[in-house]
Structure 1
Amino acid sequence: MTFNPLEQRGIPLDKQLRNWRELDVEPVDPDKADPYTKCRIIAMNGIEVEASLFSHNFARHCPDMDVKRQLARIRNLEQQQQKVVNWLLPGQSSVLETTISYEQVAVDLTCWVARMEPDPYLKQAYEFGVLEDFDHLYRYANLYEIIEHRKAEKIVDNLTEVMPGRPTIVQHRDPVDNVRDPYDKNKTAPLSKLHALTIMAAEQQTMNFYMNTGPTYMEPIARQLYQEIALIEEEHVTHYESLVDPGETWWEQLVNHEYNECYLYYSFMETESDPRIKQIWELHLNMELEHLHAAIELFKRHDGRDPAEILAPAMPKPVTFEPNKGYIRELLATQIDLTTLGAGYVREAHERFQRYQEGINDNVKPATERIIDMNREKNGHEYRLETDGPHPVERLRDPQHA
């Protein structure tokens, strides 16, 4: 049975306001919660934050006072949703533990999107980016072992492997080489538009989280590691946001945002393992259905088009958090040496790339490299979680793995 949000109605807008008691949700138990429940929470928080930021930007460019009031009304409800979702995260988890969950989101959500993406150019963009987030997970896991004396399998629960990806040191690129060609809004499948919004929002939330939490650490290596990876997340946001067609009108973007929220709440309602959290996803879906219909009315009035022209008539296959170990290993074996040049990808370290590398590193070993050296010196090893045998690239290069 297909679910068509264009035909479904939800909770009326004037019935959606919640009081403090309803907003005061119980967080998940960090020791008992499914790691992918935490991933869904983090992903939806990023989606809700993007919804709010987009609405504010729209309002700042909109001269119509009635529309500004409508945006403000729905934005307030979206902000209540964001508070509920983000406050599901447990307070007893450290910032670094939450960070490792953020990177698990980046790895397994981006892998799922890449696997499902019908457009080869967009698929390549996701495959390129995920190898970099995969490496960030490895660097943070080593920091976790050094300063909290714990291992990352406590958090990722063997669902996501922890090993080197594309080394973070070579992820620093000239900004012009982070800008991709956009999809064509008139030719691209609705699913591709949802994918682009989803990964853009997830990376944006990660960037914001790191650049705000990084300086709260006292340990110099932690501060430096967050600073370095936060700059890479800036590159990633540029990489993903540039995939979206800038020719989409504000009204079209609004409808796409609201449809995507419906899609993700529906997806997580369908796949959630925790019954209590599943009820929250269902509640928010029923709220978002009305946000979508309000956006559709604005779209019809101001763009003069039928929403069926731009939206999928039924929800695509639910977004699913699941292990992607084989997929990642295949990408490691075939794409680890890629970098970007203009809007495309090359395997050669071209002049612009080398010039930027020399400028930002300036003969200083960055924190993402030093953290591995520090863990080897302190514990006699670097931290890895390899559940399916040795690293695929090292297996080819290291005689002892032959």
Structure 2
Amino acid sequence: MSFNPLEQRGIPLDRQVRNWRELNVAPLDPDHCDPYTRCRVIAMNGIEVEAILFSHQFARHCTDPDVRQMLARVRYIESQQQKAVNWLLPGVSSVLETTIAYEQVAVDLTAWVARAEPDPYLKQAYQFGLLEDFDHLYRYANLYELIEHRKAESIVDGLTEVMPGRPTPLHHRAPVDNLREPYDRSRTDPLSKLHALTIMAAEQQTMNFYMNVGPTYMEPIARQLYQEIGMIEEEHVTHYESLVDQGETWWEQLVNHEYNECYLYHSFMEQESDPKVKALWELHLNMELEHLHQACELMRRNDGREPAEILAPALPNVLTFEPNKNYVRQVIEEQLDLTTLGTGYVREAHERFEAMQAALNDGGPAPSDQVMTEHQEAFGRDYRMQEGEHPVPALREDWNHWNR
């Protein structure tokens, strides 16, 4: 059954503030929860953080006191939502365990979006980032075994493979080569707008997470790896945010943000296996329906347009967390050797790429390579978890070549 949030009314705004008891959610049990429940929590936290940051930026560029007041009212509720969602994460999990879950989100969320994306150029952008997040998961899994002596399998639970993707040292590119061509807001499929917002928000939250937790480690190799991958997440945020049409008005962006939140809460509610978490998704969906209506009214009043002109007439098929092993392997086989040049992709290293690599590697090997060296010295092997033989025989040869 199709679901059109423009035709639904949620909880009135003046009834959405929750007290401390209501916000005191019980955290997930990391040993017994569905790994994809944890992924949905991490993803929705990133979506809520983006909503809050966007609202703050909008308020800083707005001179209308009535609009600023409405943004503040909704932003307070969004902040409560973000706390309720993020506080579902178990406090007993280490930072590295949460990190591996973040990378599982990056892999399976980006893979699903790439599979569902109707625009070939945008699909390519998601496939490109997918192979890099896949390798980040592999590097952090090796770090996890190296310093905590545990295996990432206990976190990803066989749903996501742990093995090399595009080697992390090759992710460092000249900043100008991280910019992509934006979609055309007047012609693009509404689903493409939702995809771009979703992946941008998820990568932004990962960037923020790494830049804050990285220096809390004592082990030098951990601090260095978080620093390196944190810089790559900066590249990824640039990569994904540049896909959004910069000509969208503030009102369009506000409506798109709220519609996307409705889409994701509805998607996650439809597939959630944990009854308590499912109830939270349903509650937040009913809050977001009213946020969307408030945003739509602001757009009508200030932009002179009907939101239905830019939004899908009904929510797309639910965004689903599910295994993407075969799809990821296919993308590895076809696109492992890509890098970027301007707003496009090439298979050969070029002058700007080589200059960036030389500048970064002047002080020695990248931390992501050093993790592999230390793991090899400690265990005589790398850590990976996959089903059967890898279908890309050249992967190990390429890997050795890149790490000489």
Q: CA deviation at 1:391?
A: 5.7
* Equivalent in the alignment of 1:149: 149
Give the aligned residue type for 1:319.
L
SS class of match (1:139): helix
SS class of match (2:248): coil
TM-score of the superposition, structure 2-length normalised? Answer: 0.97
**Structure-2 separation of matches of 1:327 and 1:276:** 32
* Equivalent in the alignment of 1:42: 42
Deviation digits for residues 1-52 of structure 1, max 9, x if unmatched?
1111000011000110100000000000000000000000000000000000
CA contact (8 A) 1:163 1:391 kept: no
**Structure-1 separation of matches of 2:315 and 2:255:** 14
**Structure-1 separation of matches of 2:168 and 2:14:** 48
Q: CA deviation at 1:373?
A: 1.1
Deviation digits for residues 184-206 of structure 1, max 9, x if unmatched?
00000100000000000000000
SS class of match (2:5): coil
Q: CA deviation at 1:393?
A: 4.4
List alignment gaps of at least 5 residues for structure 2.
399-404
Give the aligned residue type for 1:313.
P
**Structure-2 separation of matches of 1:392 and 1:157:** 23
Q: CA deviation at 1:389?
A: 2.0
Deviation digits for residues 68-98 of structure 1, max 9, x if unmatched?
0100000000000000000000000000000
SS class of match (2:252): helix
CA contact (8 A) 1:16 1:77 kept: yes
State the percentage of identical aligned residues.
Answer: 73
Within 5 Å, which residues of 2 pair with 1:2-21?
Answer: 2-21=2-21
Deviation digits for residues 247-271 of structure 1, max 9, x if unmatched?
0000000000000000000000001
* Equivalent in the alignment of 1:290: 290
Give the aligned residue type for 1:148.
E
TM-score of the superposition, structure 1-length normalised? Answer: 0.98
* Equivalent in the alignment of 2:60: 60
1:306 aligns with 2:319: no
CA contact (8 A) 1:333 1:393 kept: no
Deviation digits for residues 256-311 of structure 1, max 9, x if unmatched?
00000000000000011111100000000000000000000000001111111100
SS class of match (2:6): coil
Within 5 Å, which residues of 2 pair with 1:366-385?
Answer: 366-385=366-385
**Structure-2 separation of matches of 1:388 and 1:286:** 44
1:194 aligns with 2:194: yes
CA contact (8 A) 1:261 1:288 kept: yes
CA contact (8 A) 1:142 1:371 kept: yes
Deviation digits for residues 124-165 of structure 1, max 9, x if unmatched?
000000000000000000000011000000000000000000
Q: CA deviation at 1:381?
A: 1.2
**Structure-1 separation of matches of 2:84 and 2:388:** 37
**Structure-2 separation of matches of 1:331 and 1:155:** 24
**Structure-1 separation of matches of 2:24 and 2:100:** 25
1:134 aligns with 2:134: yes
**Structure-1 separation of matches of 2:388 and 2:58:** 47
Give the aligned residue type for 2:103.
E
**Structure-2 separation of matches of 1:7 and 1:291:** 13
SS class of match (2:292): helix
**Structure-2 separation of matches of 1:196 and 1:242:** 9
* Equivalent in the alignment of 1:245: 245
* Equivalent in the alignment of 2:173: 173
Q: Which moved more, 1:112-121 or 1:367-376?
A: 367-376
Give the aligned residue type for 1:279.
A
Within 5 Å, which residues of 2 pair with 1:344-363?
Answer: 344-362=344-362
Number of aligned residues: 398
Deviation digits for residues 325-378 of structure 1, max 9, x if unmatched?
000000111100000000000001000100110011115101100111111110
* Equivalent in the alignment of 1:78: 78
Aligned Cα root-mean-square deviation (Å):
1.0
